Amino acid sequence: MLVSYEFGKILNIYFFDSIILKYRKRFEYNYVSLLFQFNMKINLSICMIMVAALSSCAEAQENNKLVESQTEPKVVKAEEEWKHQLEPEQYRVLREKGTERPYTGKYYKHSEDGIYVCAGCGAELFTSNTKYDAGCGWPSFYDAEEGKVNTNSDQSLGMVRTEITCAKCDGHLGHIFNDGPQPTGQRYCVNSASLGFKAKEDSKK
């Protein structure tokens, strides 16, 4: 009886050890398999992120090249050069951000067809098609040539306004207001001293 009992214990131990070993191996296999799949997914995600980042960088570089190719080079001169080139009133307005007296400017009542250019560098800023009489005493336009006019915050004289400058030479042009006609609703209020003019025939040359 004792032998049978001991033999039974051995069989039970062997049986349960076999079951435990079997499921342990299966668990270890599943664990390793899941871990491998998880690592594969992580690596794949990292690769996709890196590819997307590289693509974005390449696209940004191409866009920058395109912008650079379409943008005119800036005109940068010493103040003495500007003083020598410009008339005193032009220098006061363009370089010192002055304002001419209303109703006195050369282009206030001007109505010829053509293009208004920067008096400092010659950049084409406004067309006669967008000029209108705002009754404010300065030449007014409801739109500017694309990319040719920059805006800056101006808090001088105790007021908060938006200054407009030539994008090519940074010359002061005037200010922009939101009381213009459609389709833009804007009024580019410009000093005549900051402008030059090319008649329609001349602008085609």
Q: Which residues are catalytic?
A: 189
The answer to whether 188 and 141 have CB atoms below 8 angstroms apart is: yes
Q: List Cα–Cα distances, 147 to 79, 131, 133, 157, 188, in angstroms.
A: 25, 18, 24, 28, 14
**Alpha carbon distance 134, 60 (integer Å):** 42
**Which residue is listed with tokens 């076999």?**
18
Q: Give the C-alpha separation, 51 to 154, whole Å.
A: 44
- Under a CB-based contact definition with an 8 Å cutoff, are residues 94 and 172 in contact? yes
Q: How many CB atoms lie within 10 A of CB 42?
A: 10
Tell the burial category of 89 from Cβ atoms under 10 Å away from its Cβ (0-12, 13-18, 19+): middle
Angstrom distance (rounded) from CA 103 to CA 48: 63
